[in-house]
């Protein structure tokens, strides 16, 4: 018997069977389970619960605050694992400067504390406790030096202590933290009534869609003509993700995983539209880009198909800009050696190949001063997630 794959997105349902993928625009007047049933009940009824696999980004994902000892190892390692587990990072705090750091105003799903190899003592002290008293968080996990674990367990209620993410050879040990974050996402789903109902049709664990897409990347060459190093840009209704080959970064992370993920939580085209427009207006190159597209800045205030198309093109430009050498707040990717760009997500149903080629070539000419761009592929059927969910 074949399997049925379902992706619950912030804007669409995607349903895949026997190599065929159908998409359904969500009805936000219904909860997720009822909406899915109204569209796909006959299809779902043909499959046993164990043959139905579901991933979802509709519950918004989990948010994390990471407190680390150094940028070079602890923060970098924890950020890497959190992103690859499908977790949204709200803020990071460098522990030596914690007394001057601001406290996030929103509720944090999980705080990650990391720092020091196992032979290092007294990494954290009362400064950490004082800071955490001001943070509104639901869960806390420690993945640092084992010699500091007892102090934290004595002073922080319900802290979970896992294997140090940093080995004595400074290699990343991410499996324990990744499993914890994945299980936490699962628990979050159970707490969301409309997603929890999906367990009426599946007996398999529901994973986060970004985690599934990242897991699909080693298999992408089997279906698409992609050359390493490459990136996958997933632009949806609420967020934009970049999944990338580790060949594109110069850092000290030693890991067996060849691919990493970045998330831009406020660069979506529908739910994050206002934030996307704000980011665009504050970018020094965007007005020149709008002129290149033969539109005025008034298009940013319109609610039309033409405006949505332009916003999607802007999202592509902005996310590439944020990981280029001209922007220092995110991981810098060596885009000058990039061979392939795969675009997936909701934009592939709106933008044409020419739309995408035009905007990426503009980026490469204007920002990198190249007169050519990498090979650009559109995952028009939005099937990349199906490669990962089959595991």
Question: Is residue 157 located within the same domain as residue 296?
Answer: no
The residue with greater pLDDT, 315 or 258, is 315
Is residue 292, in this structure, part of any structural domain at all?
yes
Q: Contact at 8 Å (CB) between 290 and 297?
A: yes
Q: Contact at 8 Å (CB) between 118 and 168?
A: yes
Question: Is residue 330 located within the same domain as residue 232?
Answer: yes
Condensed to tens digits (0 to 9), the pLDDT of residues 212-235 reads: 888 888 888 888 889 888 999 988
Question: Is residue 360 located within the same domain as residue 337?
Answer: yes
Question: Is residue 263 located within the same domain as residue 364?
Answer: yes
Question: Is residue 34 located within the same domain as residue 68?
Answer: no
Specify the number of domains making up the chain: 3
The residue with greater pLDDT, 327 or 320, is 320
What is the C-alpha separation between 244 and 242, in angstroms, rounded? 6
What is the C-alpha separation between 227 and 238, in angstroms, rounded? 29
The token duo for 198 is 């999906």
What is the C-alpha separation between 278 and 297, in angstroms, rounded? 12
Question: In the predicted model, what is the mean pLDDT of the chain?
Answer: 85
Question: Is residue 52 located within the same domain as residue 68?
Answer: no
Q: Contact at 8 Å (CB) between 170 and 105?
A: no
Question: Is residue 120 located within the same domain as residue 73?
Answer: yes
Condensed to tens digits (0 to 9), the pLDDT of residues 83-129 reads: 777 677 888 899 999 998 889 888 898 999 999 888 888 889 999 99
Condensed to tens digits (0 to 9), the pLDDT of residues 10-23 reads: 777 889 998 888 88
Contacts of 383 (CB under 8 A, 6+ apart): 16, 21, 223
Q: Contact at 8 Å (CB) between 255 and 246?
A: yes
Q: Could you say which DSSP state residue 333 is in? A: P
Q: Tokens 């990349």 belong to which residue?
A: 384
Question: Is residue 267 located within the same domain as residue 367?
Answer: yes
Is residue 216, in this structure, part of any structural domain at all?
no
Condensed to tens digits (0 to 9), the pLDDT of residues 38-57 reads: 999 999 999 999 999 998 87
pLDDT bucket at 61, cuts 50 / 70 / 90 = low
- Report pLDDT for 353: 94
Q: Note down the domain range covering 257.
A: 221-389
What is the C-alpha separation between 211 and 198, in angstroms, rounded? 19
Q: Tokens 């084992």 belong to which residue?
A: 146
Is the pLDDT confidence value at 131 over 90? yes
Question: Is residue 119 located within the same domain as residue 34?
Answer: no
């Amino acid at each position: 018997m074949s399997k049925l794959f379902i992706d619950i997105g912030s804007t669409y349902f995607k349903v895949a069977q026997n190599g065929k993928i159908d998409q359904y625009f969500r009805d936000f007047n219904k909860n997720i389970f009822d909406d899915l049933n109204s569209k796909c009940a006959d299809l779902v009824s043909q499959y046993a619960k164990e043959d139905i696999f579901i991933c979802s980004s509709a519950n918004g994902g989990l948010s994390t605050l990471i407190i680390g000892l150094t940028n070079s190892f602890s923060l970098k390692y924890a950020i890497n694992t959190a992103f690859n587990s499908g977790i949204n990072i709200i803020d990071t705090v460098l522990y030596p400067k914690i007394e001057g750091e601001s406290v996030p105003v929103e509720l944090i799903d999980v705080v990650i504390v990391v720092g020091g190899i196992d032979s290092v003592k007294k990494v954290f002290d009362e400064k950490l406790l004082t800071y955490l008293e001001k943070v509104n968080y639901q869960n806390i996990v420690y993945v640092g030096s084992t010699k500091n674990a007892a102090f934290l367990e004595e002073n922080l209620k319900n802290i979970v202590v896992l294997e140090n993410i940093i080995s004595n050879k400074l290699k990343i040990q991410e499996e324990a933290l990744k499993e914890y974050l994945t299980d936490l996402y699962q628990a979050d789903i159970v707490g969301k009534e409309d997603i929890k109902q999906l367990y009426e049709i599946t007996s398999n664990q529901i994973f986060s869609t970004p985690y599934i897409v990242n897991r699909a990347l080693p298999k992408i060459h089997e279906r698409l003509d992609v050359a390493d190093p490459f990136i996958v840009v997933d632009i949806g209704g609420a967020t934009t993700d970049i999944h990338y080959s580790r060949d594109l970064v110069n850092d000290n992370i030693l890991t067996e995983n060849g691919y990493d993920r970045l998330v831009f939580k406020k660069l979506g085209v529908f739910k994050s539209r206002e934030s996307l427009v704000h980011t665009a207006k504050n970018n020094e190159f965007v007005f020149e880009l709008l002129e290149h597209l033969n539109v005025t800045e008034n298009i940013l205030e319109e609610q039309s198909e033409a405006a949505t198309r332009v916003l999607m093109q802007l999202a592509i430009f902005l996310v590439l800009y944020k990981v280029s050498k001209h922007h220092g707040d995110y991981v810098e990717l060596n885009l000058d050696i990039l061979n392939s760009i795969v675009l997936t997500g909701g934009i592939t149903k709106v933008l044409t190949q020419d739309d995408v080629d035009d905007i990426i070539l503009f980026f490469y000419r204007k920002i990198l001063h190249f007169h050519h761009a990498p090979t650009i592929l559109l995952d028009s059927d939005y099937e990349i997630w199906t490669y990962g969910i089959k595991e």
